[in-house]
Amino acid sequence: MVRAGVTVERLVEAAATLADEIGFHNVTVSALARVFGVRPAALYAHIRDAEELRLRVAALALTELADRAAAALAGRAGKEALVAFASVYRDYAKEHPGRYAAMQVEIDPRSPAGLAAIRHAELTRAILRGYELPEPAQTDAVRMLHSTFHGYVSLERAGGFRHHPRAVDASWSRTLDVLDAALKNWPPA
């Protein structure tokens, strides 16, 4: 019997919240069942398995980040758009570490999570319109930006920058300056 009030949406939101609290890879159907006060078997009326749950959390996170990025990018171009997008990305990763980790799983591009990932990538491409990069340079730039943002955020979250007195925010700002310069001066193929 399905417990009243338990829906797929509530399960996914609870799993995302739990991921932020205990880590994405620690979220299990059993842990989620404890949140709802039900037996794990009761949740299988709503989700197929733990893998589906993880992909739904990834889709939620990617959608949330894309929504924030779209709002931040509105009316901006060039470096202003780059800084707005990067700031939203970094802030989201800090605010929602478990959801951020969920976005790093391998995703089928035809799934709901895949569609959210494509939207996220398209928002990154929107930044690049201000730099007028043709293909394949645009794809290379998208990959460079995502790699830089992810690397910086991951190292920052892991405490990788604590060994030096320079403020992490100052280095972040300088990183964005360098990315802007690289995008403005993209070398020809």
Place of tokens 């794809």: 139
Answer for the pair 146, 103: CB distance below 8 angstroms, yes or no.
no
Could you read off the pLDDT of 42-57 as tens digits, one per residue? 888 888 888 889 999 9
- Phi and psi (nearest 5°) for 180? -60, -45
Domains of the chain in sequence order:
51-184 (1.10.357.10)
What are 24-81's pLDDT values in tens digits? 999 999 999 999 888 988 888 888 888 889 999 999 999 999 999 999 999 999 999 9
Distances (CA, A) of 29 to 2, 39, 48, 186: 15, 9, 10, 47
User: What gap in Å lies between CA 22 and CA 19, rounded to an integer?
Assistant: 5
Angle, CA 185 vertex, CA 187 and CA 91 arms, to 5°: 115
